[in-house]
């Protein structure tokens, strides 16, 4: 592994660009793939490198020293691509995986709806069979990078006459097709990382189905498992102001580094960071050995969200009023405030903390499941979102 580490270190030092412009990001991702450093554990027949989780871990460790311009590809690399590899046809894998790995095509995930947030199975976007095609109408929301995406993984209802978990199908859609409208949403940070997406008579070919017709819920569970591992295992970028190392530097900058309370909280944060990193390394190694993370992805996701909240508390302890009011020329203060404002989303994206705790209780701890009144009721008869039973 020493030789591989030296290769990663040398390539990153020579090729990481200084900005995150989309064109630059695409050039960087293509160069990363050409260097054999994208899709490290993905199968070679579809453009991956066919290496092990050990090489992926080395890459993650070395890449953590840089601010890689790859965030726009995170949905595709962490969620859509792995699900296509799990459930896609040979033709779908051949068509989509290599361009995804090279950054030539950006992906988004189309699950959440205004009337079906945490209860994804209550979604109302409809896909109706019309000959050899499907016609889609409905709305999605909180869709990350949809405004830049070329393709999306869409979960839609194809049979409202069966219980809500049984009448869903997943589709792979062209985000530039007629009938798709994307509207960015500005959040409290002043940025617009999310979008609303509207479908008006979007026509899809029969080959757009990912998995089986009516098998959308198992496909969604597969993708959400990848999403939770991806979110929980996300390696913090070098300049993340909420990472332990940077908060320790912030403490020195504000003269708080000798405060015993600050030192204890920084030590606790370091221990939590290391524990999560080791847990995620274990998940990757087990997955490589043929044991998918399954519900344990929810542990990683929940732990990642809690770590973020812990870091915000430490940041407030260190920075005090500087966390909410800083000199206009203080770039570090601006970055810290932005990171603090972004943190609440970590407890929502990919399923709320409450959803993760329910999954952990049901599927890992074996606790009794909560009563579910609508499990066997046809979706058409439910009162969800804007739908009212006849």
* Residues 159, 122 contacting (CB under 8 angstroms): no
Q: What is the residue whose two structure tokens read 């770590």?
A: 307
* Residues 154, 170 contacting (CB under 8 angstroms): yes
Rg over CA atoms, the chain: 22
**Beta pairing, strands 126-130 & 133-140:** antiparallel
Q: Is 227 a catalytic residue?
A: yes
Name the nearest CA neighbour of 321 among 311, 342, 336: 336
SS3 87: helix
* Residues 227, 350 contacting (CB under 8 angstroms): yes
Name the nearest CA neighbour of 151 among 83, 69, 213: 83
d(CA 284, CA 75): 18
> Which position among 62, 105, 113, 227 bears the catalytic label?
227
Neighbouring-strand partners of residue 311: none
Using a 10 angstrom Cβ sphere, with 0-12 exposed, 13-18 middle and 19 or more buried, the burial of residue 73 is buried
* Residues 76, 230 contacting (CB under 8 angstroms): no
Name the nearest CA neighbour of 213 among 279, 260, 169, 255: 169
* Residues 154, 110 contacting (CB under 8 angstroms): yes
| Contacts (Cβ under 8 Å, ≥6 apart) of 221 | none
Neighbouring-strand partners of residue 157: 126, 168
* Residues 303, 357 contacting (CB under 8 angstroms): no
Provide the 8-state DSSP code for 265.
Answer: H
Residues with catalytic roles: 227
């Amino acid at each position: 592994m020493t030789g591989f580490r030296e290769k990663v270190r040398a390539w990153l030092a020579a090729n990481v660009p200084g900005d995150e412009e989309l064109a630059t990001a695409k050039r960087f991702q293509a160069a990363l793939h050409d260097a054999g450093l994208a899709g490290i554990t993905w199968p070679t027949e579809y453009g991956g490198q066919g290496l092990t989780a050990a090489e992926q871990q080395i890459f993650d460790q070395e890449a953590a020293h840089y601010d890689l311009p790859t965030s726009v590809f995170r949905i595709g690399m962490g969620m859509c691509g792995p699900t296509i590899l799990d459930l896609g046809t040979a033709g779908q894998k051949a068509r989509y995986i290599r361009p995804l790995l090279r950054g030539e095509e950006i992906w988004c995930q189309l699950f959440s709806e205004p009337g079906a947030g945490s209860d994804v199975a209550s979604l109302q976007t409809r896909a109706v069979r019309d000959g050899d095609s499907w016609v889609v109408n409905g709305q999605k929301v909180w869709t990350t990078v949809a405004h830049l995406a070329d393709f999306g993984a869409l979960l839609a209802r194809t049979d409202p006459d069966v219980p809500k978990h049984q009448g869903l199908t997943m589709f792979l859609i062209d985000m530039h097709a007629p009938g798709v409208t994307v509207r960015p949403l500005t959040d409290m940070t002043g940025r617009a990382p999310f979008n609303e997406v509207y479908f008006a008579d979007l026509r899809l070919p029969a080959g757009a189905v990912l998995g089986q017709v009516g098998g959308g819920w198992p496909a969604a569970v597969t993708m959400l498992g990848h999403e939770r591992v991806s979110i929980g295992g996300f390696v913090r970028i070098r300049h993340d102001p909420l990472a332990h190392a940077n908060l320790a530097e912030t403490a020195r900058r504000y003269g708080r580094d000798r405060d015993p309370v600050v030192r204890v909280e920084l030590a606790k944060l370091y221990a939590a960071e290391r524990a999560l990193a080791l847990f995620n390394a274990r998940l990757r190694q087990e997955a490589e050995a043929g044991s998918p993370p399954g519900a344990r992805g929810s542990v990683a996701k929940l732990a990642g969200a809690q770590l973020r909240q812990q870091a915000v508390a430490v940041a407030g302890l260190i920075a005090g009023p500087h966390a909410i009011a800083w000199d206009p020329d203080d770039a570090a203060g601006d970055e810290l405030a932005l990171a603090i404002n972004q943190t609440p989303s970590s407890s929502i994206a990919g399923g709320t903390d409450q959803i993760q705790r329910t999954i952990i209780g049901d599927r890992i701890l074996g606790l009794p499941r909560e009563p579910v009144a609508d499990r066997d009721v046809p979706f058409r008869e439910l009162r969800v979102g804007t739908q009212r039973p006849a």
